[in-house]
Amino acid sequence: METLRLVLLMLHILGFAALFGGLVVQAGQPEKTVNAAMRDGIGTAFLAGLLLVGVLEAGDAGVDHAKVGVKFAVGLVILILVMANARKERIPQGLWAGLLLLTVANIAVAVFWSPVHRL
């Protein structure tokens, strides 16, 4: 089970790294869009995150549901905004900045809020 958790955690990190990279690479560009890295990144991060919760729930360590709830809500907003705008030629600067802010916010929640599973 620990190997599965670690594989999912690696996929989870690769996913939001692609999302973050897909956003930041457009920082200097006047026109913003939803690129494949953002779309596939949040899809992977979200799915792996849900599966991670399942693995942790199946384990005997408690799960911090408040932290997971916040991460789920923020992740869902990012997922919906990215998928809803994935076919558009361009997205507003404000949407791009908002997606970047939400992604960094979820990283901060993951890192600074106590670990999801209480050992």
Element (H, E) at 107: helix 93-112
Total binding residues toward ligand HEM, as defined by CB under 6 A? 25
- Residue 91 near residue 34, CB atoms below 8 Å: yes
In contact, 69 and 21? CB cutoff 8 Å: no
Q: Which of 21, 43, 72, 86 binds ligand HEM (CB under 6 A)?
A: 72
Please give the Cα distance from 41 to 88 (Å, whole number).
18
Look up residue 16 and give its two tokens. 């939001």
Pattern of binders to ligand HEM over 74-103, x per CB under 6 A? -x--x------------------------x
Binding stretches for ligand HEM (CB under 6 A):
5, 9, 12, 16, 19, 45-46, 49-50, 52-53, 56, 68, 71-72, 75, 78, 103, 106-107, 110-111, 115-117
